[in-house]
Amino acid sequence: MLKKFDPNIMAFLCNWCSYAGADLTGTSHFHYPPNLKAIRVMCTGRINPLMVAAAFRHGADGVLISGCHPGECHYMEGNYLARRKIFVFRNLLEFVGINPERLQMSWVSASEGKKFSNVVKEITEKIKKLGPLTTFDE
Amino acid sequence: MDKEKLVNEAKAVFSREDVACLIGYGKDSIGFRVSPIFIRTRDEADQLFFSPLCSLSLVNYLTLEKGVLLEGNKETGGEKIAIVARGCDSRALIQLFAERGIPREQVVILGVPCRGTIDLKKIEGKFPDARNCTEVTEAEGMYYIRFDNESHEVPKEELLADHCKHCAFPNPLVYDVLLEDLVDSKGAAYSDIEEMEKMALEERHEYWKDKFARCLRCYACRNACPLCYCDDCILERVSPQWVNRSVNLSENLMFHLARSYHLAGRCAGCGECERVCPVNLPLMLLNRKLEKDIKNIFEYTAGSNLDDKPLFASFNPKDPNDFIF
Amino acid sequence: MKLGVYICHCGVNIKANVNVAKLTKFAEQLPRVRVARDYLYMCSEPGQQLIKKDIEEHGLDRVVVAACSPRMHEITFRKALRSAGLNPHCLEIANIREQCSWVHEDRMKATQKAQKLLAAAVSKAALLEPLEEKEVEVTPAALVVGGGIAGIQAALDIADTGYKVYLVEKEPSIGGHMIQLDKTFPTLDCSACILTPKMADVGNHPNIELFSYSEVVAVKGFVGNFEVTIKKKPRYIDETKCNACGQCAQYCSIEVPDSFNLNLSKRKCIYIPFPQSVPACYVIDPDHCRYLLTRDCTQCLEVCKQGTNAIDFTQKEELVEVKVGTIVIATGYDLFDVTTKPEYGYHLYDNVITGLEFERLSNASGPTTGEIIINGKKPKDVVFIQCVGSRDKTVGNEYCSRVCCMYTAKQAHLVREKLPQATITVFYMDVRAFGKGFEEFYDRVKQEGVKYRRGNPSEVYRRGDRLVVKAEDTLQGELVEVEADLVVLASGIIPNKQTAQIASLLKLSQSPDRFLLEAHPKLRPVDSASDGIFLAGCCQGPKDIPDSVAQASAAAAKSLIPLSTGKVIIQALTSFVQESDCRGCGFCVEACPFDAIELREVKRGRRVLEVASVNEVLCKGCGVCASVCLSGAIQQKSFADRQILSMVAALGEEYA
């Protein structure tokens, strides 16, 4: 029997907004699926899209990048810089035949605990529908 | 191209005392091959030529020259390097000036308006036995080719390098001397990219899987690129290991994602990567896909303006946000 | 390399949903792990002792703690490492509480996830480098933004300690909303009487430099060394000369609505907001002054020339730069715009007023010298409506404004005092009388014959010459119509309209209610997320006066810590450049939001070339530079590519 697909989702969360938001999700005990595992970075601007590629190569079926809402970056513009890079990288992924939906970006503030749990739920569902990412298996 | 004009202008450049070297095209002895030549005296300038066979970019050779300034050396003693540059080469030069802080004045640019160049693989495929090519000229959509004791006419379309077919910058964007009248520019064309975008995701996946599976990871594409100039490439490092050494689809894909992403907003469109690829990977498709998106979305064209901030070091609050979850 | 792994049960907080015993066994077999332990409360003294003892006995190089969020106890454990002689940055925390045990129900899956998080932390820990923490000097001065009661209190507390304070107020006088109030609940002190001495103290304090009629327009730098640009608007009057004699206003022929009295009266175009204004200096309203608009009137100028000659029409907007070590934000609140609830008829009927308008009406220095007169008559029937713009999702304000219940009770009391015969009805949703003496006061007001009816009125309309308030009394379960000739709307508190602007100027966050967000809702209610910037008063959320004063004093105390220690440790997570890898392209220089990177010349072999170099004092450690670096030469300490990639690799593994 085929094992039920249980996606591996990695997240890069900025320290000031989304990681704090994810902590608030915990403090408020809003549940979400355990598929998502977070890596804390200080700012989404720190994220090099190649880290996303590396995540896929190391077995991630989906990747979430989450940071402060536009205009609210702790470092002023890191999230804007990240958005541009991620946008371009998603297009590149799509062009080589990797569904760009596997790379999601969201804005979650430190006070949006509920939103974070919803984002995780929806992304997990989405990746489940897309099935495992096999491109990097060979 | 009028050879006399080229040679005379080159000699004129050499009459200036501050030019140490001129990099141009010289005719190779075998078949249709063309070599870069390094001219150091006035008389040597007679060896220069230019024809549709000049498909290689000379920009990369700047770093091989004595004026190591292009490797970032600030102590040059003021010598300049002259270079023959087509439209795409001029974009690479602009990008290098901007990125490496090379003073524009240190380079003397002999600009060549370019009607497109011949893909060596195509012409050699058509005339595999040619030994001594004497001339290739272009007129009215035809190439007139003379080699050994034969002469041939071939429609331009059959031999033109793929990336030249879509070239939007045939004319040099910067130059000190212009060697010919400017040619008409067609504007950017991305019909082939658009065709590929229409393919189903799975279909495109299969297409690239097939391509990347062939990659030998010889790094020729990287070495030939005028804009890949790191002393120590991250794709060869062990810590962190972005790409590991094994040659398989997974690592090859990782390599090509990294390579094309590193050229996003930087690729000058010279097609060197594709030209040198021993297994004929259509690498310019990746570069041009990004070039197209970046142009359409961010109104940004690499190597078009010396004062542009790097694409990924800038943003507009109105950048696309619809994809945000 | 020897690692120690410490897994916290957090009582049952972690243990209930994560199999701690299994996790500890799992940790033992991870690479380089010398010792793995679990304990009830790792953050407790014995828990920390466990770590310290192991560092000493086993000679551990790196420590991994699997516990609550690093945002909670990273500092605690860093201190523990330091006291055991290990560099505090040799610590990595796996967040298995907030981001694991508290959010997943399936214990097996939560345990599996905890394993991954732990494995990732262990692999990163092995790559951590000891970091040096550098100290920088602190400018011994503070900036206080906002001159209401919170800003006044914070400024006085800091100044009294002996440090210089720059107090910036956008209005011509300090005092804020409190100076507009009549009496304060529940003690019925006269608001101005208790505030004006403090205002005078500010005006006279040798350590306070007051920038009234001014705004902060730019803030650069970091804790200990902020550079602030203040825009001084022209008053057209020399503050050093004006003695507030008021002759000018007597000669001024232009009358405009008096904003201090909420436009219930008129004032002159040259004016002082209220008699006790600080600074005691007149100001000319540039939107109405005939001289400034058309140059055809010099009445005030002429009379002033005979006195102190303080009027100066050549004054221009001025930018002043000051340097401070810390900043207190006390920008206060605005009132909810009651016209967004048109059903209450504020825009239609003169005798529907807001709570703050009532304060002016009832105030002895107000437009009616304290008599409650509406349209020339004393009202016989007065209705108060609570929660206007508070606890109201339809207007986007879900929160309670925290003062309206009590100010309504107070105002009802004042009506009773001034109009003993009037009938007084209060419509309320709930009465929240939570503070000291509040319930007692509420009780007293009810005893005074104020009728409290539970219900949220649906409409105020006119019938004949009277108003009718229509509501459902939810206790009686009946529809009621109450006639009134004065309706007072208890308008709620909203963030100062410039809050978003202030937030972006200082890189502060706003909570969903749009007030400024504190660093931690429980434990750091006065700090902002930016080091050296503190919050006081209603900018952080609705508060009454004692709470604002308390928070202001707390903010002052917090901001005094760096000032009095004279040094701050600059954060160690800066970027650094591996020079031999740098290609000198300058992308990082262009991308850095803080101008902390520059290219400088170095020799490499025979070549002289430029490479990036980081100014660690200016670097705030966002890592944007590292993400645009193509050669991987610029990296962020503790968040280097290789450290992040090691976590990615560990999260990608499957563990039994």
- Coil vs helix vs strand at B130: coil
Closest Cα partner for C149 from C190, C187, C117, C191? C191
pLDDT band at B69 (very low <50, low <70, confident <90, very high): low
Cα distance between residue C284 and residue C266, in whole Å: 15
Written out in words, the top-level CATH class of the domain with range A9-129 is alpha beta
- Coil vs helix vs strand at A54: helix
Residue C89: its pLDDT value, please? 96
Q: For residue C137, what is the enclosing H or E element?
A: strand C134-137
Residue labelled with tokens 């140059």 = C295
Rounded-to-10 torsion of CA B34, B36, B38, B42: 40
Main-chain dihedrals φ then ψ at residue A70, nearest 5 degrees: -55, 135
Cα distance between residue C122 and residue C27, in whole Å: 9
DSSP secondary structure string, C263-328?
Answer: TSSEEESEE-SSTT-SS---EE-TTT-HHHHHS---HHHHHHHTTT--B-TT---EEEEEEESEEE
Best probe of the B interface among A56, A104, A138, by most B CBs < 10 A, is A138
- Check whether B66 has a pLDDT greater than 70: no
CA atoms within 13 A of residue C262's CA, in its CB half-sphere: 20
- Coil vs helix vs strand at C534: strand
Best probe of the C interface among B225, B228, B231, by most C CBs < 10 A, is B231
pLDDT band at A1 (very low <50, low <70, confident <90, very high): very low
pLDDT band at B67 (very low <50, low <70, confident <90, very high): very low
**Domain extents in chain B:** 3-178, 191-313
**Structural domains in chain C, sorted by start:** 3-133 (3.40.50), 141-233+317-332+496-567 (3.50.50.60), 247-305 (no CATH), 334-494 (3.50.50.60), 575-636 (3.30.70.20)
Nearest CA of chain A to the CA of B175: how many Å?
Answer: 32
Of C103, C510, C530, the CB nearest to A32: C103
List, in order, residues 6 or more apart from A67 with CB less than 8 Å away.
Answer: A13, A14, A17, A18, A43, A44, A45, A73, A78, A79, A82, A105, A107, A108
Percentage above 90 pLDDT, chain B: 73
Cα distance between residue B186 and residue B205, in whole Å: 31
Could you tell me whether strands A36-41 and A62-67 are parallel, antiparallel, or unpaired per DSSP bridges? unpaired
Residue B102: its pLDDT value, please? 80
Task: Provide the 8-state DSSP code for C341.
Answer: S
Kindly determine whether residue C607 and residue B99, on different chains, have CB atoms separated by under 8 Å: no
Residue B70: its pLDDT value, please? 53
Contacts of the segment B204-207: beta carbons below 8 A, 24+ positions apart: B204/A95, B204/A96, B204/A97, B205/A96, B205/A97, B205/A98, B205/A135, B206/A97, B207/A97
Residue C77: its pLDDT value, please? 97
Asked if C496 and C539 touch (Cβ cutoff 8 Å), the reply is: yes
Summarised one tens digit per residue, pLDDT across range B81-96 is: 899 999 999 999 999 9
For chain C, give percent helix, strand, coil, nearest 5: 30, 25, 40
Is A134 part of the contact surface with chain B (CB cutoff 8 Å)? no
- Coil vs helix vs strand at A39: strand
Both tokens of C214, joined, read 């001014």
Chains contacting C (3 or more CB pairs within 8 Å): A, B
List, in order, residues 6 or more apart from C605 with CB less than 8 Å away.
Answer: none
Kindly determine whether residue B208 and residue A96, on different chains, have CB atoms separated by under 8 Å: yes
pLDDT band at B18 (very low <50, low <70, confident <90, very high): confident
Residue C608: its pLDDT value, please? 79
Q: Which residues of chain C have pLDDT under 70?
A: none
pTM: 0.77
Phi-psi region of A46 (alpha: psi -120 to 50; beta: other; left: phi over 0): alpha
Is B99 part of the contact surface with chain C (CB cutoff 8 Å)? yes
Q: How many CB pairs lie under 8 A apart between chains B and C? A: 74
Closest chain C residue to A43 measured between Cα atoms?
Answer: C622
Asked if C290 and C255 touch (Cβ cutoff 8 Å), the reply is: no
Closest chain C residue to A23 measured between Cα atoms?
Answer: C98
Mean pLDDT rounded to a whole number for chain A? 94
Of C583, C590, C642, the CB nearest to B239: C642
Residue A79: its pLDDT value, please? 95
Summarised one tens digit per residue, pLDDT across range B257-298 is: 999 999 999 999 999 999 999 999 999 999 999 999 999 999
Q: For residue A128, what is the enclosing H or E element?
A: helix A113-130
Cα distance between residue A95 and residue B205, in whole Å: 8
Beta bridge partners of C67: C95
ipTM > 0.95 for the complex: yes
Residue B77: its pLDDT value, please? 65
Of C504, C530, C594, the CB nearest to A71: C504
Query: In one letter, which amino acid is B262?
Result: H
Summarised one tens digit per residue, pLDDT across range C429-451 is: 999 999 999 999 999 999 999 99
Residue C159: its pLDDT value, please? 98
Residue C529: its pLDDT value, please? 80
Kindly determine whether residue B325 and residue A53, on different chains, have CB atoms separated by under 8 Å: no
Mean pLDDT computed over A84-93:
98
Kindly determine whether residue C591 and residue B99, on different chains, have CB atoms separated by under 8 Å: no
Cα distance between residue A61 and residue A130, in whole Å: 9
Mean pLDDT computed over A70-83:
89
Summarised one tens digit per residue, pLDDT across range C520-566 is: 888 889 999 888 999 999 999 999 999 999 999 999 999 999 999 99
Burial degree of C298 (CB within 10 A; 0-12, 13-18, 19+): middle
Is B200 part of the contact surface with chain A (CB cutoff 8 Å)? no
Listed by number, the residues of chain C in 572-631 with a beta carbon closer than 8 Å to a beta carbon of chain B are 580-581, 583-588, 590-591, 599, 601, 606-610, 627-628, 630-631
For residue B120, the Cα-to-chain-centroid distance in whole angstroms is 14
Residue A2: its pLDDT value, please? 57
